Structure 1
Amino acid sequence: MPLPATWRYTGRWIKKTAWRGAVLVAVALLVWPGAVRAEPATATAALQEFSPPAKGSALVINIPSFTLTYFRDGKEVKRYPVAVGKPTAPTPVGSFRIISKVVNPTWYPPFGGRPVPPGPGNPLGRRWLGFLPSGYGVHGNNNPSSIGKAVSLGCVRMRNEDVEELFPLIPVGTPLMITYETLGLETDPMTGQTCLVFYPDVYRRGTPTVEAVLARLKKSGLDGHYAPAEIKKALVASRRGASFVSLGTCVRVAGQEETVETTVVSGETLLAVRPVLAAFKLPVGWDARRKAVVIGTAVLPVHLVEQRSFARLGDLQRVLGIKSAWNDEDKVLELFQWAVKVNGEDLGCGAWYEGDQVWLPAGAIAQALGTKVSWDPERQVALGAEKEWPGRLRGQELYVSPAVLAELLSAKVTVLAGERLVEVVERAAVVPVTGAPEAPAKEEQPTLPPPAAPPAAPAADEVQEAAPVRALEENTPAGDPAVSPPAKPPR
């Protein structure tokens, strides 16, 4: 997810405590002037702003998050996990461009020794994307367990399958920004949830203070959204790994909206269980032995945070049939048990079930059919053609029965109780059988299950072929970077 335009990347160049760093920078500037654009800065200062180009490809690598993000035409396409340089040989920070591409590279060890040809033992993997002539690049690897760690000699490692997927999409000259951001904004595409994320300070360059975080949030128009106490707690937790501070998500159930508490686990937003089940009028029980929520015969796995239960959206659908869809226009998360399809397409919001009756959102269905429907909110009736139809107002939407909807919109409405699905087809889309008159729409009248008994959980660019690469990389097993020996200058 691209950061807001007002969000500025923070970065700092390598601490040059030895002659090695000075030599590498000098070589880079002599061989390729303009290759490096990096300035000294603190880890909390706003250094430079990066916006992906409106046309073409671009890459952003953030060291603390161990991620490489691919942008196309200014939009994020995909994010990949990577490994970066260890603290004694950090990955450089700054603005670069891809200067070379190699298929099946040969590795020449920087400390001398016999070259390693392409194959399973080659630490560069099967693809190389160089960004500095002094030997830095993005490449595959022969040690997948190193991904997500700071263990290389400064290069950026990817999984072989990931770099092979990315390789044909990146032409020579593609801009590459490498940042050192311990603070970021993430948005969960499933819930629309925006949260703060604090990444570990892998190079010990300093984490931002609570005051600095609040100041940056204010510049981004997010002041007042996050409590200082929560920020402080997340900063402490980030020493062990990425930590998140989330806001509640606005949830809509049957037209009624409320803010539901959320938590973030491994980048995924989880919803508080009790308010969600209460909105569907489902009883809640607790199984202490299994540490799970029990609803009738169904068992819902949960994540506990300070004695409060949170559930994944996937588990809510798998166990209880509660489906979800993010409404980007209204910025709410729609939750529903009965799905609605209009002319074969998912509506994106569901039906409301009560007692033995399904209630359908008349306005949303009419809009999907390319028409409009009017209603009187005080009397809760739909209006049209000098006639009124009864309904029920929930929030800002009028819900009507399948029979009323069929007459109101001249549509065929089919209720599939076993699938908890309502299909709506406009009359013009219904093709009658040749030689036989079209039968009038007939609503099914199924026996609907009570809501308290949900279903149980079911068990090209120019490419050099096999060219040699003298990379700042070594075939070193993943381990604790703190005990790695200092890097020696390349030969």
Structure 2
Amino acid sequence: MLSRARLPVPPLRRERRHLKGASSIIAHSLSVFNAPLARWAPRGERSPVGKPWFYPAARRPAQEWSRAFAWESRTGGTAPVGRIQKVAPLAIFVTLALLLGSGAGPARAAQVEIVINLPAFTLYLYEDGVVTRAYPIGIGSTVNPSQLGTTEIINEVHHPTYYPPDWYRKGLEPIPPGPDNPVGTRWLGLGFKGYGIHGTNQPWTIGTAASAGCIRMYNHDVEELAERVGVGTPVTFVYETIETWLDPLTHRAQIKVYRDVYRQGTNRVDRALAKLERIGVREGVDREFLEALLEEAAGAPRAVPYSVPLFVDGRRMDFHAVDFGGRVLVPLDGLARTFSLPVERAGGEGKERPGEAAVGGRLVPNSFYVGSRAYAPVEDAAYAFGVMAQVSGDGVRLESVRLVAGAAELAGVRAFVYGNWLLLPVQELGRRFGVEVGWDPSLRTVTVRGRPAFGVTLIDGKAYLPHDRVEPVLGIRVRWAHGQKEAAVELLR
């Protein structure tokens, strides 16, 4: 988009530096006596940069200079200070003596550099090796990506005029400073030809890949940045989608993943593990959850996930529970395969809480998706799958309740633990014990011997009744107490 701007470059371009403290007063005092460094502004000349130009005396232009000093105002124009009067040499001498003899040396300028991480859509300002500012930015599109590498700021223009590419040949008009100017209120030209860091009149593009390669900033941000950098400031462009670090207080490993904007294939598990290894994390990382974080690419800090052994009915699973920032989570997809139940997003038109998952048509409390994978805390996952849960030092154990008739287990008939109740499948029990059970679609409930049985719970399309209601409805007695792993079932004659 409108980002490669051809900007007017003043003649004899020289680096502009801000003089502070005593240095600026000395320079001003010397300029009164036509010291060879200072150039006066000609009458009517507009300053394109905003500060006096400094030239060796031999290279001054031959125009007639006025004695009226000029500077660029905040609106981009020039304003005269007024005629400078001769100052008594004694006054100058006393001023210089006081300044130079005060013992206060010039303040040391910070070492300033800019680092731009393109996938993070962030410009970092470093001062003496420490990040002091982080600005949101817009970057080059996938068609015109921003360049990588190191360059520097080569010029700075306040309230620039924008020259569209091939404007003269195409008969286009330059766009003057103002709200219609695509490069906003500041231009920091870079050593990459035609590229710069600039403001914008399209602030909604910040945080997107929409430019022709330049770096866009909010106008107020680029104005602040321009006050803190200058010509010669190094600028480094990097493409890093995975960041890892140790929290300075808790010493826990953290990870942040950005979208692979330019599709460079950087969000891979092996790269993430290599970066974690550099900060001392070498074992125990849960690869499946890490893959989900890489797929999610949320651009926000996340705890590093660690694997926790998972057992279902005494059998160790080939997938794991996860310690995620101190919470133990269970992957719902893996459990769904184990218990032959469907998992789906709870979102959709007319549905609440779209970030959660549903198992067998029932919402799983506190569940959430990481990428395309659903997770839930252990207790909530146990509720969703109707099992009992125990977390100990050797892992997570999930136990189903077995149904036993006499000495034989009712294989294939699965009960659901639901708080202090045990839910049993009405139709399957009826078939096992010869009880006539049907379904009334108009009432959406089961019928037993032709009579509707209300109070059923539907799980994956099947009707379930609490164990204390099975006897009056089906004539089948169920003996079970909360926490028990077996329930005795018998038909009453």
State the TM bucket, normalised to the shorter chain.
0.3 to 0.5
> Larger Rg: 1 or 2?
2
If the length of structure 1 is used for normalisation, what is the TM-score?
0.39
If the length of structure 2 is used for normalisation, what is the TM-score?
0.39
- Larger relative contact order (CA 8 Å, sep ≥ 6): 1
